[in-house]
Structure 1
Amino acid sequence: MVNDPARVKLVELAERRSVSLSALSKLIGRNTTYLQQFIRKGSPRKLEENDRRTLARFFGVAESELGGQEIEDKSYAQSKGGLAKGWIDVPRLALGASAGPGALADDDAPVGHLRFSEGWLRELGLQPGALAALSVAGDSMDPTLADGDEILVARADVQFGGRLRDGIHVIRRDGTLLVKRLLFEREGRVSVISDNKAYPSEADVSLVEVEVLGRVVWKGGRI
């Protein structure tokens, strides 16, 4: 890796947010190897202004941390009324968590972000770097979650000490992404529940068959 503060910072931010360089390259409209080349080979020599601004806003940091000029950061802060301070931009993923027949989870690229108060997240005991937002597809979790709702998901391997608890989770089964209510009634076994009684639920499923990606900790949607 080319040892330059902006490149080191970008790698640090990506690791903290658990997002790949290829996904970030997609976010700024580049080919999937663009930021890998920037980090490892020093090409381009520096990030273009629009790319740098998009990444800085995505991570909620000043542009100067990614190689921008300090004056740009002051201008940005003034235009936003200082909004960036005390706020966390959580990556919004392109994929949807299906509450119906199931959606293939083959693209984890962020397509934007949802902004949350850092203090509010910490009051809930949530680690900002372990969060992602995505939309719900389907109605199998009605009335708890409706089609099109946005959900905030805390990574299962980081949040809550890595312990699995009863609640609504995003899971992957056979390459398909689902949002379901999970009941951990016996060690190594789980019940996979659809809140909408029109859909089937499954009892006593082996955890070997279910990859628990994260727990749903917040929802938002249209009225």
Structure 2
Amino acid sequence: METLKDRMRLARKHAGLLQKDLALRVGISQPLISQIEKGENRNSVHLLKIADACGVDPLWLAEGKGEMRPQPLPSTPDTLEDDRFVEVPQLTAKAAAGLGEENPHVETLGTLAFKKAWIKRKGLKAEDLQVIFASGLSMLPTLQEWDALLVDRSARQLKHDRIFAFLTVEHETIVKRAIRHGDTWYLRSDNVDKSIRAHQDVALVVDGVQRYEVIGQVLWRGGDL
């Protein structure tokens, strides 16, 4: 196979997965899988996870080198003991790493499985958790566009230098890093290019009015934050 998009389709068919099924296994969105298969995204940071989910050689998938070398497919939550995992709802909602993302209609796309031992170690409750998607570039390099984000909706008290999901007064969802200077809280983007308005710090309270409601703390994006 000469192109990444061709290898992607072959790998997914080898695994017997639909695009939405592969997206759930990897922890990204179906549109991102579609972009790769159309040749619109050739530098995805998720190729290693995609190769693992499809049971193919990562170097073959990324660069076309060597053989596909099918391997036994990795275990999935369906093949593991149910009592070892917690299934967290994966929503269609997006949180903008930028100015804001409207989510007028939110559906449950599926679930992502997390080990109960990890949930317990973090002191979390499954009913407080949900998975949404990152949108935009203002939180680069920490968050990539279309990253799946695990949000703890019970953690609404801001912590300095931690990442949170917020709801604006315009009912748009954003994801930013909370920074405290004295008695003032700011929402900060990790992207160092501050010439773009969406990357600039904004105050939590403006003219005595709190303009951002805390939805919850972001704890995971395919790895601990």
Report the TM-score, using the length of structure 2 for normalisation: 0.56
1:164 aligns with 2:163: no
The aligned amino acid for 1:164 is L
* Counterpart position of 2:181: 185
Change (3 A) 1:175 1:203: closer
Change (3 A) 1:210 1:118: same
Residue of structure 2 in register with 1:64 after alignment: none
State whether structure 2 residue 198 is matched by structure 1 residue 202: no
Distance of 2:190 and 2:82 partners within structure 1: 37
Structure 2: 5+ residue stretches without partners: 1-76
Deviation at 1:109, TM superposition (A): 2.3
Q: Who is 2:139 aligned against?
A: 141
Q: Which amino acid aligns with 1:176?
A: E
Separation of aligned partners in 2, 1:136 and 1:168: 12
Q: CA deviation at 1:106?
A: 1.8
Q: Note the C-alpha offset of 1:220.
A: 1.8
Q: Label 1:186 to 1:213 Cα distance change in 2 as closer, same or farther (>3 A).
A: farther
Residue 115 of structure 1 aligns with an amino acid whose one-letter code is A
Aligned positions of 1:95-174 closer than 5 A:
95-155=93-153, 158-159=154-155, 162-166=156-160, 167-173=162-168, 174=170
SS state at 1:195 partner? coil
| Secondary structure at the counterpart of residue 163 of structure 1 | coil
Residue 101 and residue 172 in structure 1: after superposition, are their counterparts in 2 closer, same or farther (change >3 A)? same
* Deviation for aligned residue 1:204: 3.7
Query: Given the superposition, is the C-alpha separation of residues 197 and 213 from structure 1 closer, same or farther in structure 2, using an over 3 Å criterion?
Result: same
Residue ranges of structure 1 left out of the alignment (5+ in a row): 1-78
Percent same amino acid at aligned positions? 28
**TM-fit CA distance, 1:82:** 5.2
CA distance in 2, matches of 1:109, 1:80: 22
Distance 2:216 2:189 in 1: 17
Distance 2:204 2:121 in 1: 34
Residue deviations 1:140-184 (CA, integer Å, cap 9, x gap): 1000001111110101xx23xx53212111101121111111113
Q: For the aligned residues, what is the CA RMSD?
A: 2.2
Deviation at 1:107, TM superposition (A): 2.5
- Following TM superposition, by how much is the alpha carbon of 1:103 offset from its aligned partner in structure 2, in angstroms? 1.0
Question: Per the alignment, do residues 141 and 205 of structure 1 end up closer, same or farther by CA in structure 2, a change over 3 Å counting?
Answer: same
Structure with the higher helix share, 1 or 2: 1
* Structure 1 partner of 2:215: 213
Instruction: Name the CA distance, whole Å, in 2 between partners of 1:212 and 1:109.
Output: 21
User: How many angstroms apart in 1 are the aligned matches of 2:202 and 2:172?
Assistant: 19
C-alpha separation in 2, matches of 1:117 and 1:152? 13
Give the superposition deviation at 1:83: 2.2
Alpha-carbon distance in 2 for matches of 1:101, 1:151: 18
